[in-house]
Chains A and B, each alone.
Chain A
Amino acid sequence: MPYPEELKKLIKIVESTRAERVERKKKNEEVPFLSLDARTDRLKYHPDFKEEGRRELLIGPSKGYRIAHEMADVLESYSRVNPANVNLSNPDYETDVLVIGGGGSGTSAALLASENGARVIIATKLRHGDANTMMAEGGIQAATKGHKDSPYFHYLDVMGGGHFKNTPELVETLALRAPDAIKWLEHLGCNFSKFPDGTLKTIHGGGTSRKRMHYAADITGAEIMRTIRDEARNRPDKIQVLEFVPAVELILNEKGECAGAVLYNMETEEYFIVKAKAVVMATGGSGRLHIQGFMTTNHYGATADGIVIAYRAGVKICFLHTVQYHPTGIVFPEQAEGILITEKFRGAGANLVNIEGKQFVNEREPRDVEAASIIKECIEDGKGIPTPTGKMGVWLDSPMIEDLSGSGTVEREFPGKFILYKRFGIDISKEPMLIYPTLHYQNGGLEFRNTGHTSLPGLFVAGEVGGGIHGENRLMGNSLLDIIVYGRIAGKSAAEFAQNNIGMSKLTLEHVVKYNQEAEKAGIDKDRVSPMLLPDYTTPEIRKRQLTSHYVGTMR
């Protein structure tokens, strides 16, 4: 719906200060960046710093680690299926490499595994390509312009964004392999935004010292995803894709290696066994756990499944004590709530503005600092804009972009968001957007090395499901990069592992039996079952009427 009268009045205030803000932008007179100390102070307003939002894990390899309740809930749960009922002696599928997850990292891994001689199965919960990758808008970082940038600066930016806590080896590999990742995508026919001579267009993102954000208009992730998916579809003899079958447990062998997975067909409710010589975990993130009740930008299927099942198999977790809130999620109109507004709007010059029409923070701070600043402005300083649905937000002044770069720029550079708002009767080239931080990225995840290996032989990790690359906070443009760089690495490593593995050892789910026992001993409620697979948005009213708890007859 269009802005109601009350909001239109407040927009007048934004308009009244715009000309002056545009002038300052043109002269490069920015609100100064916060010092590292001031950043620390500001971060007190970040949801990660709410101690009551977390608890210590009672069981598993990272027992004692304090993480969000919502994540702890799915880790401290029982298996969906009784291991005693699963017949492992007659697998339904056999392959060299099983890739769990059909997003950007899984698909990259499948392509590289197939190029390294492996037969591949991708098992994915929804459709191939249904993933956060598809939704990433802003861009993909890589130091590709040697006259002003290098992996040196990329490394420093990543570390600074992550509070200098990142795992150095993982960052080094990310920065050094970034340009080759872009080249690979270019070679596969990805339509990056370019100058006529082929030079890639690059812009700034929050926390970058050089303009190294490459993009494909404002649907970079979708363009990457549909390109690599198309390539995977051209190799049906090497890559088999199984859709709507999430993995619900990993399978080990008697040598203690990862040797497959139990898949669950959500439509027919059957379980299937895949036997594999190596497994790549690429299940992505967990926004749909709605940590601390936040709205999310994430895909319907982002429910931490991979973390849950690898944790049960003994892989430790790290950096899950931090969660990324994207500074700018739509808070009005209600229909579009939670949807991400790419940082590129700020990169292109749009100010964040409070109810008085004042810019209150530099728009290129790292995401956590930016989000904390918006929360502070609304909650502490009371200068947020109240929405008709009883929430708070601040303005993202997109019409500034028109004043800075010419009329028509917003529609041309941000076609996706322009159309989205147009449907609700809002023209974002003339009216600002109302935004608030939204749950966006799982900074942490499974521990892994820069070769994709985990502590569990035969299990490799790629993408958002892994932790360490981004430390405590990821910068824009490093997630699309992460999935391509580490997807390719994991795929190659898995294919090599598979080649040296004759796969003769007997399959077992003993680790699941033990985990269930540990949960029972810790007194965990028997009704708690995970992975979650899909969030439940049923209303309480409906739930009250859904009385069947155990199915017996012919109807569920």
Chain B
Amino acid sequence: MSDTIPVVIKAKLIPIYIMGKKYEVPETLTIMKAIEYAGYKFIRGCGCRGGVCGACSTVYRKPGSYKIMSGLACQTVVEPEMYLTQIPFYPALRSIYDFEELTGKPEEIFESYPELFRCVACNACTKVCPMDVEVMDYIAALKRGDIKAAAEISFDCIQCGLCASRCMGELPQYHIAQMARRINGRYLTPAAEHLKTMVANIETGRYAEEMIRLKAMNTAKLKEAYQAREMEPATGGEDWTPKEKIGL
């Protein structure tokens, strides 16, 4: 069992071309499992195997079609006669910046990534994105200086680099988006006040005695305290407060 290669394959075998070479693989497998089934062992081009890490970018073409398709090897199911290759790494330029020195102005991104303005709005980036991120739209948002919009539009980016591989303007879109998201998180979103208060309370030792008391409890006492916990209801709102003030 498991997400390993099944020992007994009942599914029909279909031909695929891994870097031009033909292999017969079960039609139900993802490209990643099909490559392993063919006998390859990954060092590159394989990561989380769950579609979030961006290690297994793959481009392919189907028979008789000029169209270049793309996908994550771990998420895309094989199709008969597909010609595929992985692009496990792409040499995109990443700008180094001092995050503490930033203020949240769009000019700071323009300075780090002047190539942003080489975008010709061809939309090749969006078309190739395996996560359906509207890449060109966030680049356009940045050109207008709207960092927040760029951060939101790019949120699902897994930094696989396929956008950069297809870009006529040679932009490193995913690196630019990363900078935008961090700026958004720190400089364009209000900090949580309740968080500051809690950290300060812990630093001044508000809970120190309770913690000493807890640590000294034997298992029986601890179980008692555990079962006495008042449970916040699943449907309660932000302002719910417990009846008992113990531990607060």
- Using a CB–CB cutoff of 8 Å, the interface residues on chain A facing chain B are 1, 25-26, 28, 30, 36, 126-127, 129-130, 134-135, 143-153, 155-157, 159-160, 164, 168-169, 172, 175-176, 179-180, 182-183, 186-192, 194-200, 204, 209-211, 217, 219, 222, 226-227, 230-231, 233-234, 236, 244, 266-267, 290, 293-297, 299-300, 334-340, 347, 349, 364, 391, 415-416, 419-420, 423-424, 534-540, 542
Contact = CB atoms under 8 A, between A and B. Distances in A.
User: Which 6 A-B pairs have CB atoms at the shortest separation, nearest pair first?
Assistant: A189-B182, A198-B190, A152-B247, A338-B3, A295-B2, A189-B185
A130 B187 CA distance: 28
A267 B42 CA distance: 11
B41 A204 contact: no
Per DSSP, chain B at the interface is: loop
8 contacts: A130-B53, A151-B210, A155-B214, A164-B226, A191-B155, A335-B28, A416-B156, A420-B51
B178 A234 contact: no
B67 interface: no
A160 B47 contact: no
A164 B229 CA distance: 15
Given A204-B234, A295-B2, A420-B51, 5 more contacts: A172-B214, A191-B151, A198-B189, A219-B155, A538-B5
B66 interface: no
B186 interface: yes
Determine which residue in B42, B158, B194 has the highest number of CB atoms from chain A within 10 A of its CB, and name it.
B194
Contact of B46 (A144, A187, A300): A300
Contacts of A135: 48, 50, 52-53
A189 B207 contact: no
A226 B211 CA distance: 34
B65 interface: no
B233 A28 contact: yes
Contacts, number: 260
A201 B170 CA distance: 38
B196 interface: yes
Nearest to A134: B53
B135 to A, nearest CB: 15
Determine which residue in A129, A151, A296 has the highest number of CB atoms from chain B within 10 A of its CB, and name it.
A151
Given A130-B47, A293-B1, A539 B194 contact: no
B29 A227 contact: no
B137 to A, nearest CB: 16
A164 B227 CA distance: 12
Interface of B: 1-5, 7, 28-30, 33, 36-37, 39, 41-44, 46-53, 55, 75-77, 94, 96-99, 131-132, 151, 155-156, 158-159, 178-179, 181-187, 189-199, 201-202, 207, 210-211, 214-215, 219, 222-223, 225-227, 229-236, 238-242, 246-248
Contacts of B192: 144, 186, 194, 198-200
Nearest to B227: A36
A382 to B, nearest CB: 19
Per DSSP, chain A at the interface is: loop
A171 to B, nearest CB: 8
A152 B234 contact: no
B2 A337 contact: yes
Contact of A176 (B196, B211, B233): B211
Given A148-B248, A172-B211, A160 B226 contact: yes
A146 B215 CA distance: 21
Contacts of B207: 150-152, 176
A182 B246 CA distance: 24
B194 A200 contact: yes
Contact of B232 (A150, A175, A194, A204): A204
B109 to A, nearest CB: 13
Contacts of B48: 130, 134-135, 299-300
Contact of A539 (B7, B155, B211): B7
Nearest to B88: A127
A244 to B, nearest CB: 7
A339 B131 CA distance: 17
A300 B219 contact: no
Contacts of A168: 214-215
Contact of B43 (A30, A151, A534, A536): A534
A230 to B, nearest CB: 5
Nearest to A424: B77
A179 B206 CA distance: 14
A349 B41 contact: no
B52 A219 contact: yes
Contacts of B240: 148
Contact of B195 (A26, A200, A236, A419): A200
Contact of A222 (B158, B184, B214, B229): B158
Contacts of A295: 1-4
Contact of A180 (B186, B199, B211, B246): B199
Contact of B210 (A126, A150, A190): A150
Nearest to A331: B1
A296 B99 CA distance: 37
B49 A179 contact: no
A180 B5 contact: no
A230 B178 contact: yes
A538 B36 contact: yes
A454 B106 CA distance: 46
Given A148-B248, A539-B37, A127 B195 contact: no
